[in-house]
Amino acid sequence: MAFSIEQLSTLERRLKGDIAWDAFAPRVQKELQVAQRKAKIHGFRPGKAPLSLIDREYGPTIRVDAARTVMSETLEEAMTTEKLSLAAYPHFHLEPIEVGQAVQFHIDFEVLPEVEPKDIQGASIERVVADVTDADVDETLLQLRKQMHTYEPSEKAAAQGDKIAASLTVAVEGAESETYPNFEVTLGEGRMIPGFEDALLGVKAGEIRTFTVNFPEAYQHKPYAGKPGQFTAEVSQILTEKLPELDDAFAVNYGIAEGTVDALRKELRQELTRELNWKLQQLLKDKVFDALYKHNPIEVPASQVKQESVRLLRNTFSQYTKHLPKAQAEQLFKNLDSSLMADEAKKRVTLSYVVEALVKQYDLKADPEQVRALIELRASMYNERADIIQNIMHDPKLMEEYESAAIEDLLVNRLLENAKVTEIKQSFTEVMRPAKPEADLHAGHDHDHDHHDHDHVHEEEQTS
């Protein structure tokens, strides 16, 4: 069977082929005979209908199916002969079949790139370092107490930390005014637009306060962006936060067996240290992989980039549509453009090839003890740690993910040997708790406004 392969781009190929009718006809004849034995034609006993009638009824479909089989066989032969590997499922194009004429077709496909990876020799890498201080433990204790807080109605003027319950109306020139009857905001959280929370300081229950605050130029709700907002807050309640006492009873409630505040502080410091070390390692890995990406500008299959773009977009989209019915969320997703994630997708696909090549080049293998340590470290950040460890250890897919993470850590350490590493000192808070974004009055579905790991995997359909 004759075929030729045309190179359309670095990774794109087009296979053109044809098969003479004399070679193709026996395939069709064989399938027609199979159909003849099975066909139920009115007026004929099973298997007794003339072959000409079978051809008239089923011939076109049988010829197309036979041609597709030929195309698949030709592609497989070409992959073996040319020593190529498919990056994704190919696109088959069959010309109309004319009885007695050669069957012609072409197949468009992408091949896997040939990667000659480069390390990050000479690259400047900033390694963030941080420690857990007594102040960090104190702050965490305060946050734990706040999680168990209660609110009490107050007649005093609202101060930082107080929650205000109000009916809020906002009017902006050129836009219809909106009212949020069950609006709540905690002063001092900094979640509203600049100036909003400050304007409510000192307000009391039963008061109606009117004030003007400018919306940021980059405000998500475009009719409001960059314009002054006229706000009217009809305050129904001022709620003051009441925290539980930090005593031995609090430690027991938190699950500390010894039941003392000192034991609680010790346990928290250990937990914070584990979380911090995990985060620091992820930050370092991201910086190393960023440098690795810049040092390896290889071309990768467009089909894989597109698939990864869709996956990333769906993951991001699902975080914001959990409250929507599935059918409605799916309809909204169809209207999104996956190219929004194209840059990140290309980076991830590229790194998957480069990392795989370097791991093979350096002959890196995951040590079982290292994998176990990673699992225990991750599980230590949650309750029911023993159960989490067992679940991971008995899940082949999860185990594969942790083995990959362990190998990536080995690769990071190997790459850092040839890089210029400088340490950047940061606080625990700077590393673990980045500043919160400003709240958007229009971000929610209703009017109750309480205002990176690398997945280095190739296309699942990849064929060798």
pLDDT digits (tens, 9 = 90+) for 363-372: 999 999 999 9
Q: What is the SS3 assignment for 18?
A: strand
Domains in the chain, please, with CATH? 2-110 (3.30.70.1050), 124-135+268-432 (1.10.3120), 150-242+439-451 (3.10.50.40)
Facing residues of 124 across strands?
420
Q: What is the DSSP letter of 408?
A: H
Q: Which amino acid does the sequence have at 242?
A: K
Facing residues of 109 across strands?
13
What pLDDT, on a 0 to 100 scale, did the predictor assign at position 434?
Answer: 65
What pLDDT, on a 0 to 100 scale, did the predictor assign at position 456?
Answer: 33
| Token couple for 360 | 């093979």
What pLDDT, on a 0 to 100 scale, did the predictor assign at position 453?
Answer: 41
Q: Are 73 and 81 in contact (CB under 8 A)?
A: no
Crossing angle for the helix pair 368-379 and 261-295, nearest 10 degrees? 120
What pLDDT, on a 0 to 100 scale, did the predictor assign at position 435?
Answer: 57
What pLDDT, on a 0 to 100 scale, did the predictor assign at position 186?
Answer: 94
Within a 10 A sphere around the Cβ of 277, how many other Cβ atoms?
A: 13
Cα separation, 276 vs 285, whole angstroms: 14
Say which residue the tokens 């190997």 belong to: 414
Cα separation, 348 vs 315, whole angstroms: 15
Distances in Å between the Cα of 170 and the Cα atoms of 232, 437, 443 are 7, 21, 15
Cα separation, 293 vs 296, whole angstroms: 5
DSSP-assigned states of every residue in 127-177: EEE----HHHHHHHHHHHHHHT-EEEEE-SPP-TT-EEEEEEEEE-TTS--
Q: Are 233 and 202 in contact (CB under 8 A)?
A: no
Q: What is the reported pTM?
A: 0.70
The CA angle 308-311-317, to the nearest 5 degrees, is 140
Per residue in 152-171, pLDDT (tens digit) is: 999 999 999 999 999 999 99
Cα separation, 47 vs 51, whole angstroms: 10
**φ, ψ at 127 (rounded to 5°):** -100, 115
pLDDT beneath 70: ranges in the chain: 434-464
Cα separation, 11 vs 3, whole angstroms: 19
